[in-house]
Every structure is written in structure tokens, then in C-alpha cells.
Chains A and B, each alone.
Chain A
Amino acid sequence: MTPLTSLDRPNSYIGRSVPRPNAKRLLAGRGRYVTDIRLPRMLHAAFLRSPYAHARIARVDVDAARALAGVHLVATGADLAKICTPWTGTLDHFKGMTSEPQLPLPLDRVVWAGQAVLAVVAESRAIAEDALELISVDYEELPAIVDLDAAREPGTPRVNPAGSSNICFRAQLDSGGVDEAFASAAHIIEEEFSFGRHTPVTLEPRAIVADYDPDGGMLTVHHATQTPYQFQDLYSRHYRIPEARVRVIAPDIGGSFGLKLHVYHEDMAVVGLSILLGRPVKFVADRLESFVSDIHARDHHVRARMAIDADGRILAMDVHDATAIGAFSTYPRTSVVEGNQVIRLIGAPYDFKSYRAALEVVFQNKVQTSQYRAVGHPIACAVTERMVDLAAARIGLDPFAIRAKNVIPDDAYPTASPTGYRFESLSHQVCLQRLREIMDYDALRAEQSELRQRGIHRGIGIATFVEITNPSPAFYGVGGARISSQDGATISLTPSGEVRCAISVTEQGQGTEAIISQIVADQLGLAQEHVKVITGDTEVTPHGGATWACRGAGIGGETALQAARKLKANILEIAALVLQEQPAALNIIDGEVVNAATRQPRLAIAEIARIAYFRSDTLPPGTQAQLTVSHHFAPQGYPFAFTNGIQGCYVEVDADTGFIKLLKHFVVEDCGRIINPMLVDEQVRGGVVQGLGAALFEECRYGETGQLLNGSLADYLVPMAMEMPDIVIAHVETPTADTALGAKGCGEAGTAAASACVLNAVNDALAPFCASINAVPITPARVLEALGRF
């Protein structure tokens, strides 16, 4: 007989793979996405978009469009500027940062090809689009700054004529000792890297229905977003509607990954259009609009140097990251967080002292970039891990051996990175060992060399990573952003003895509602099906940060845990009065109050609810049963809960065609306490595949005039089932001591290291050819170019 574990306790759900209760609806086609919503008297918006990357709007003629039957409104930038205050995507803690103020629609200048210029609201989307055809706009073209390097050159025309240069932000880090370390190094590795732009491509595009009721002065927005509270605050402030009269509802969301937490001009405009018309207005970006108006991400050029000693120990790193972000910085989270994380995460898994980095964030005439899954991580990881592999090759060490020599030892915690990140407890050494086992590394190497004899070129790549999760107010709050790092829950025992938990973290399919119900059921002592979780409505749950930066389990989960413990204490207090016992002598198991020592059932919690709600007269005088509890939790202690892990992959490169086949992928991941192992694995797999897409396929390609050349799902390649490998996952659990739950995050882990891994594997495969690639995505053309065959 296997020994009993904590999972054998009744109602123990923490650590258990249970299916998501809310997934059945989606499987039956009963999801309710914003795309599906239809309200009475609802109208539809469509936007005329700029064909130029940079131009002055000289003249606009909308008369014919206004006259078309079925058209209710044609709105210009000036119309919306009358009711909406401008926004600026800067934060105070990014010293010296600049960005142009933004309005829903431009007044006189467009700054990227695809920018919304005018809005039409009509009885159907089709009529609105017909009306767009009737609008004529005269543009005077201005010089478009497209390329990242061109934008940085002195004397280049400015993206914003009012600005003094194309620089949005600069930052520097220097731990000291860098020059000395390089002077004394046995070897110096130098490399340049480039990372293309890509975009989240959620399958459900951005969607919003704004519904302004002029009589009640009440705005309701059905918004496909991760962060309803952030938008409640923004709509309230920019349209000057009291916050309590703004309600944002995020129903089922068809994927987000960071895409749906930024302010988009069209979304702000739709709110204004509804206010101007006093009717519900809907806008769903079609796929072509998504490509030119959703945030993009990455777009970095990195120069890196690494100093190592004769034994292969890393002594120092010196890096420069230049990144281009579009014509302005995204609101309210800015477009500089990615670069900032790149320079702070480079080298993070390794034990060395001397680090210097410079970051340069520049404007260009393209759509805005901002936070997308694993912000900055894939770039920091690819640069670091490729440099480590180059160092290993220089001195003839195996990739595992050089990492084993350099990772921060598991017994060295707490410690800090040379960039100032404080690490509570990471597990690089044990992860490295686990990866070696699950890959069966030695056998793979043997197979690789045997196949090489036969002209088959396989490569093995590994990449360690550190992931940032559970951010404290140090992330946005200190910079003045009204983005909460705390969450809140209201939890009730209902009159029939069930539990209802309304919580501010949100669901986009990752399983937030499932894990919250697991935690609540576990802590209160009842079956999971008796817990109903409600998310995504600012009118119903307390204010909170919602779901981003992997905070759902760590912060949301801890909020639910603490709220459930409070409610349990209140239930037991009433039970103790009814049973004439001490609360400490009682417990709850399976919805029954039991004797804590003997587990003998005494009274159903439904009975306590009945008495408290309907027969309070039978309770001792002065008793006020509190069967609803509201509770907030803000992370304290470490500013971030760092997690870590390592990935490996096995690829085959066709040296004649440049095609890369992904054979197998491996992940060892430490996200702290695991609440639902199946959901964690699925987060990791989904994340890996997004990283693999970035590694091999995904790139927003622009022409010289700033036109996006591949802005459709037929032209922009995304990873499909056929090209993706099976992914083997193993876990190490190092819970954080900052919370009772001990959970950190796992949503970025897969994406963080997947492209680094593939980059190393492809270079490993190309080693016999003395060819090297340091650009992502690794397209067949780049492979052939590296092989000198193109």
C-alpha cells in the first residue's frame, strides 16, 4: 500500500489535477464572448485607417458617408477630443521617459499605417464599412522612420516633430568592476543578436461593446480584457464619469496573453461614440485590423560581451539593448517595460558579480509595442543562453557542464542578481539535473553523432531561465499607474450551505476560476462542486489587479485562501454557539461541522446557514453571524516572486532547404506550490508553443514605407499542430515563504526559454558547418544564409 499523502485528506484539492468546471460550456459552444454579445438598439462601429505610416491629415470629406442610409454618426478626432481627455504612456519611475499625448482619433497627423483616423457608427458593421468607402481624406506624406537602426541615427527625421529626438527612454545599470573583469578574462565572447517583431494573435480578436445610459449617467462596457478594474478607472477618468457609475464586464475571453490589457485608440473611441449616441456601440477588430492595430512585441537589437576565466566561469557581462516601440509609448503600462526587463534579466540564472547594461528605447512609425506574454524574458534568455553556449564551445565544455559550473547554487539563497533582483529561493541545480534525466541527454548525444555520420543534422539545445511573477507595487504602482498589485474577494456561505466567491482575478482560459474553487473548497472543507466562483465584473467583485504577470495563482490564490479561512472561522463561531462547544474543538469536512479530534459529524454547514439567515432568533442575544467576508491581499516581502526552470529541445535541420523540424521539447519548471498540476502543464505547453512560434515563424515584416507586408493569418505564420513537438514536463516545487499558499506563477515560463532553446539547438546542429545564427525567427532563409547557400 502506498502511504497516505496530504491529497488523501477529504476535500484536499491543492495539488490535484481536476478538470475545469467552467470548460464544459465552452465545449458545447455555449461560451459567451464579447464577440457574441448583442444588446437592444446596439450599433456597430468601423474605422477608416491610415494608408500611410506618417502623414498630415490635410482635408477630410465625410458628407457622403453621413448621408448613407443606416449611418448614425461619423466621428472625427476633434469630435471625440471634446469629451475625452488625452493620455500619455509614461510612468514616473522610468526617469526621463517621454511620449506624445494620445487621443482616441488623431487631430491632424497619423503616425503608423493602419492607425484609425475616423469612426463610422451604423446599423450594421457592413453598412459602417460601406460608409468608410464614401469618405475621402487628403494626406500629405511625411518621412516615415521604419527601421530601428535608422530611428537611432543622428539627423534622422523625428517621429514626433515636437520631440527633440527619437529617444523615448534610456537606462543604465552598472554593478562596477566590469572593465577590470574583462581586462583579466581568459576569454571574451562577443555577439550581436536581433529579434523580430511579433504579435499575440489571440484567436478571438479585440472586442468591445460600450453602452452609455445618458439618463442614469451610467457606462457599462463589455470588454474582452484581462483587467476590468484598470479600464473602469481609465474610462471614468478620461470621460469624467464617476467611477462607481462605470461598470466593466469581462465575460469569456478568447485568449489574451497581455494583448487585451492595453489601451487601444479604437476601444477608447467606442466608449466615446456610445456617449455621443446614447446607445450601445460594438466594435470587433477583424483579423486584418488586428495585425495593424494590436500591440506588437520584441523588436530588439542586442550587443553582448561576456568575460570568462580559463575554467569557464562567467566573470562579467556587458550588454546594450536597442528596441523600437512604435510612435508613442503604450498606456497605461508603457512600452519600456520589456527593454527594462531584458537588461535586468540577462545573466539572471548565473553567479557572477560584474554587470553593465544600457537600454535605448526609440520611436518609429509602426504600431505600438508593449507587454506580451513573458515580457522581455525570451530576449534576455536567448542572449544569455547563446552567450553561455558560445563560451562553452570556446573552451570545449559541454552545455550542461558550463551551466552546472555557473548557475547560482541551490544553497546560496537568499541572494541577489548583479542587476539588483532579490531571489528568495531558486532551484537551478536540481532543475539542471532533472532535465538531463528526462532528456536522456547522453543517449541523445550518441544518437546525434551517429546520425551525423549519415548526413542527418540534429541539434540539442538547453536554456535556463528565471521568470518574474507576482509583482508588488514596485512594478507599476510606484510609477504612478493606477494598476493594483492587490486583489480582493468576497466570499459567502449561501442560505443553502454552498459557497460563492467573487474575486478580482480574471479568467481567460488558464483556469483561474478552477484553481480559486479548489483553494476555497480545500480551505473550507467542502466538495469543489459546492463552490461557485465569479470573476470579471467590476460591479460584483472587489477592486483588484486581475490577471497578468502570472499573479492569478500567487496573489489571487492567496486572497482566496485567506478569505476562505476567515469565513471558516466565522462559520465555526456560529457552530460553536449552536453546539455549545469551543470553536477550536470543531472543524469542517465535506460540508459538515465535525469534532476536530474525532472527525465525528455534528452539524451540516447548511444547517448553520439556515439558522443564521432564517432563525437568528435562536442564537444567543447579541450574536451577529458574519457569513459573508470581504478580504484583500497585497503581496509583501519580496517585490517579485521569481521562479526558475530549464528547457531542452531536439531539432533536425535540413541543410539543403533550411527547414527545421522540432522533434521533442523538454521543460523542468519550478513555480512553487502547484495547485492543479494538469493546468500548470497546459500553461507551460501553451507557453512553449508561443515561444516556438517566435523562434521559427512569427515576424511582422515591414516594407520600406512602413507598410506591414504580412498582416493576415495566411501570410503571418503561427505554430500549427503539425509542426509542433510533444513536450515533456517535470516539476520541482520550491514554495515561496511569503504566503501561506506558497504558489508563484507559471504562465510565462514556457515562452521565456523556448526560443533560446531552439536557437541553441539549431546552432548545435550547424556546428559541423561552422555556421552560426543569432537572429530570431530562425527562418529557412536565415539558415541557408548562415550556410552560405542563399
Chain B
Amino acid sequence: MSSDIDEAEEAVRVRFIVNGRKVACEVAPRDTLVDCLRNSLELTGTHAGCEMGACGACLVRLDGRAVHACLMFAVQADGARIDTIEGLSESGDIADLQAEFHRRNALQCGFCTPGMLINAHELLSRLAEPSRAAIRDALSGNFCRCTGYEAIVDAIAAVADARAAKASQKGSPE
């Protein structure tokens, strides 16, 4: 029994590019990516709400796609490019989403918010002008107990509109 535990605890060295920087850390084979990000790398902006893929609090971008960090072992992400809420905030990539969430109070306790933002970012990169129904549909894996969702939907819709308006301005001849 105890030899099993020793084996489980044997550390593995993994490397990622996290928020644009190369990092290496030692993880146990059973450590999930969310635990590795939160504990080893101290990126506590990524949250754990269910650890079974149901709440969306742990979403991060992995090689450009939103994934549940709770459903993946850290060793499976070896070599990946990972962007968390901290990195996306610093890069300014989601500044418009953050500003609109703030303006409309599309968050209360904030525990779901990093996952919501990452999902919204992904949605808007796939679909330039999603309908409200499409936004609600895209958020159907993100649980928020506080807001009632409407302000989140409003904020994402407003950013989609603003981005579209900007794009059409750029595209149209002066």
C-alpha cells in the first residue's frame, strides 16, 4: 500500500509556456493542471469549483483553446502554451471585456469571473456577432451563483457590438 503512495508521489518535471514565459515545475503524476497552476505556479486566478468539468471556474487557454484545467493532469499539458486570467489581463487581450463586465457589474463574488472571461474571449474569437441566445448557449458550462447571468450576457453582447463596429470602421474606406 505505502509503496503505491510513494510511487504516486514521485515527481515529474514538466515544462509549459505560461502567460508567455517558459516555466518548469515538478508535479506528481496525479496532480491536475488546475492544482499545478494554483499551487506550484501560484496563479490563483484560475479557480476550482467542482473538479469534474461542470462549473467552468477552472477554464484556461491551452494552445489557444479554452480547456478545463480540472479535467487534465499537469503532465498531459507538458509542452503546452497556457494562458490564464493573469496573463490575459496583463496582455490587454480582454481589456474590453473586463471593462464592460465592470461597467455593468457582471460579477458579484468574482469566483466564476475568470472562467467566464476566458469562455467569452473564446466565443468572440470564433463568432464575431453572436446572438443573445448564442451567448447564453456558449456560457452553458459556466456556473454563476451570484449574478443571474443577464449582466454577463449583456456585457459580452456589448463587447461583440463594439468590436464589430471597430472592425467595420477599419474595413471601410475613409
A443 CB within 8 Å of chain B: no
Instruction: Say how far A686's CB is from chain B's closest CB, in angstroms.
Output: 5
Q: Is the CB of B117 within 8 A of A27?
A: yes
Contacts A509-B146, A727-B150 given; does A26 touch B105 at CB 8 Å: no
Residues of A within 8 A of B49 (CB): 203-205, 287, 713
Q: Is the CB of B109 within 8 A of A724?
A: no
Contacts A23-B105, A721-B139 given; does A713 touch B54 at CB 8 Å: yes
Interface residues of A in 71-124 (CB under 8 A from B): none
- In whole angstroms, what is the CA distance A509 to B38 when docked? 22
- In whole angstroms, what is the CA distance A19 to B144 when docked? 19
A28 CB within 8 Å of chain B: yes
Q: Is the CB of B57 within 8 A of A720?
A: no
Contacts A23-B102, A28-B89, A722-B137 given; does A203 touch B145 at CB 8 Å: yes
Of all chain B residues, which has the CB nearest A691? Answer: B148
Q: Mark B154-165, 1 if CB is under 8 A from A, else 0.
A: 000000000000
A631 CB within 8 Å of chain B: no
Sorting the interface of chain B by its residue count into under 10, 10 to 19, 20 to 34 or 35 or more gives 35 or more
Q: Mark A195-217, 1 if CB is under 8 A from B, else 0.
A: 00000111111000000000000
Residues of B within 8 A of A25 (CB): 110
Instruction: Say how far B61's CB is from chain A's closest CB, in angstroms.
Output: 13
Q: Mark B88-128, 1 if CB is under 8 A from A, else 0.
A: 01000000001001111101111111100100000000000
A130 CB within 8 Å of chain B: yes
Q: Is the CB of B52 within 8 A of A255?
A: no
Q: Is the CB of B110 within 8 A of A718?
A: no
Number of interface residues of A (CB under 8 A): 60
B23 CB within 8 Å of chain A: no
Of all chain B residues, which has the CB nearest A31? Answer: B110
Interface centre among B8, B9, B85, B105 (most CB of A within 10 A): B105
Q: Is the CB of B5 within 8 A of A255?
A: no
A257 CB within 8 Å of chain B: yes
- In whole angstroms, what is the CA distance A677 to B30 when docked? 48
- In whole angstroms, what is the CA distance A679 to B89 when docked? 24
Residues of A within 8 A of B108 (CB): 255, 508-511, 682, 686
Interface residues of A in 23-72 (CB under 8 A from B): 23-33, 35-36, 38, 64, 68-69
A20 CB within 8 Å of chain B: yes
Interface centre among B8, B104, B113 (most CB of A within 10 A): B113
Instruction: Say how far B172's CB is from chain A's closest CB, in angstroms.
Output: 32
Q: Which of B10-18, B39-47, B74-82 contacts its partner?
A: B39-47
Contacts A29-B86, A678-B105, A722-B137 given; does A686 touch B112 at CB 8 Å: no
Of all chain A residues, which has the CB nearest B42? Answer: A38
Q: Is the CB of A203 within 8 A of B51?
A: no
B152 CB within 8 Å of chain A: yes
Of all chain B residues, which has the CB nearest A255? Answer: B109
Of all chain B residues, which has the CB nearest A714? Answer: B54
B140 CB within 8 Å of chain A: yes
Instruction: Say how far A74's CB is from chain B's closest CB, in angstroms.
Output: 15
Q: Is the CB of A130 within 8 A of B137?
A: no
Contacts A254-B110, A510-B108 given; does A28 touch B85 at CB 8 Å: yes
Instruction: Say how far B23's CB is from chain A's closest CB, in angstroms.
Output: 17
Residues of B within 8 A of A255 (CB): 108-109, 111, 145-146
Interface residues of A in 664-699 (CB under 8 A from B): 678-679, 682, 685-690
Of all chain B residues, which has the CB nearest A67? Answer: B2
Q: Is the CB of A686 within 8 A of B148?
A: yes
Contacts A19-B102, A713-B143 given; does A28 touch B86 at CB 8 Å: yes
- In whole angstroms, what is the CA distance A726 to B154 when docked? 10
A578 CB within 8 Å of chain B: no
Choose among A24, A205, A254 the residue that contacts B109 (Cβ–Cβ < 8 A).
A254
Choose among B2, B28, B114 the residue that contacts A126 (Cβ–Cβ < 8 A).
B28
Q: Is the CB of B139 within 8 A of A203?
A: no
Q: Is the CB of A722 within 8 A of B147?
A: no
A456 CB within 8 Å of chain B: no
A134 CB within 8 Å of chain B: yes
Q: Is the CB of B50 within 8 A of A287?
A: yes
Residues of B within 8 A of A23 (CB): 101-102, 105, 107, 110
Contacts A30-B45, A713-B52 given; does A720 touch B139 at CB 8 Å: yes
Instruction: Say how far B99's CB is from chain A's closest CB, in angstroms.
Output: 9
- In whole angstroms, what is the CA distance A679 to B108 when docked? 9
Q: Is the CB of A203 within 8 A of B57?
A: yes
Q: Is the CB of A718 within 8 A of B143?
A: yes
- In whole angstroms, what is the CA distance A25 to B46 when docked? 13
Choose among B5, B109, B153 the residue that contacts A252 (Cβ–Cβ < 8 A).
B109
Choose among B50, B53, B109, B139 the residue that contacts A253 (Cβ–Cβ < 8 A).
B109
Q: Is the CB of B105 within 8 A of A679?
A: yes
Interface centre among B112, B141, B150 (most CB of A within 10 A): B150
A529 CB within 8 Å of chain B: no
Q: Is the CB of A27 within 8 A of B110?
A: yes
Residues of A within 8 A of B50 (CB): 287, 712-714
Q: Is the CB of B30 within 8 A of A28?
A: no
Instruction: Say how far B141's CB is from chain A's closest CB, in angstroms.
Output: 8
Interface centre among B9, B39, B55, B111 (most CB of A within 10 A): B111
Choose among A36, A38, A686, A722 the residue that contacts B140 (Cβ–Cβ < 8 A).
A722
- In whole angstroms, what is the CA distance A68 to B107 when docked? 43
Residues of A within 8 A of B145 (CB): 200-203, 255, 257, 686, 690, 718
Contacts A27-B113, A714-B54 given; does A722 touch B28 at CB 8 Å: no
Contacts A287-B51, A685-B151, A721-B149 given; does A26 touch B113 at CB 8 Å: yes
Contacts A33-B111, A682-B148, A713-B52 given; does A721 touch B153 at CB 8 Å: yes
- In whole angstroms, what is the CA distance A200 to B30 when docked? 30
Residues of B within 8 A of A20 (CB): 102, 105
Q: Mark A474-516, 1 if CB is under 8 A from B, else 0.
A: 0000000000000000000000000000000000111100000
Of all chain A residues, which has the CB nearest B149? Answer: A721
Of all chain B residues, which has the CB nearest A685? Answer: B148
Interface centre among A712, A720, A727 (most CB of B within 10 A): A720
- In whole angstroms, what is the CA distance A23 to B109 when docked? 9
A410 CB within 8 Å of chain B: no
Instruction: Say how far A717's CB is from chain B's closest CB, in angstroms.
Output: 10
Choose among B52, B84, B112 the residue that contacts A712 (Cβ–Cβ < 8 A).
B52
Interface centre among B39, B49, B142 (most CB of A within 10 A): B49
Of all chain B residues, which has the CB nearest A20? Answer: B105
A286 CB within 8 Å of chain B: yes
Residues of B within 8 A of A202 (CB): 109, 111, 145
Contacts A30-B45, A35-B47, A690-B145 given; does A721 touch B152 at CB 8 Å: yes
A-B interface, 9 closest residue pairs, ranked by CB to CB distance from nearest: A29-B45, A26-B110, A509-B108, A509-B109, A29-B85, A254-B111, A685-B148, A689-B148, A721-B139
Task: List residues of chain A with CB under 8 Å of any chain B CB.
Answer: 19-20, 23-33, 35-36, 38, 64, 68-69, 126-127, 130, 134, 200-205, 252-255, 257, 286-287, 508-511, 678-679, 682, 685-690, 712-714, 718, 720-722, 724, 726-727, 750
Besides A203-B112, A287-B51, A712-B52, 19 other CB < 8 A contacts? A24-B102, A27-B107, A28-B85, A29-B84, A29-B86, A126-B31, A127-B5, A127-B9, A134-B1, A203-B47, A203-B146, A205-B49, A254-B47, A286-B51, A509-B109, A687-B148, A713-B52, A713-B55, A724-B136
21 contacts between A and B (CB under 8 A): A23-B107, A28-B85, A31-B111, A33-B44, A68-B2, A134-B1, A202-B109, A202-B145, A204-B109, A254-B110, A511-B105, A511-B108, A712-B52, A714-B50, A714-B54, A718-B143, A720-B143, A721-B137, A721-B139, A721-B152, A722-B140
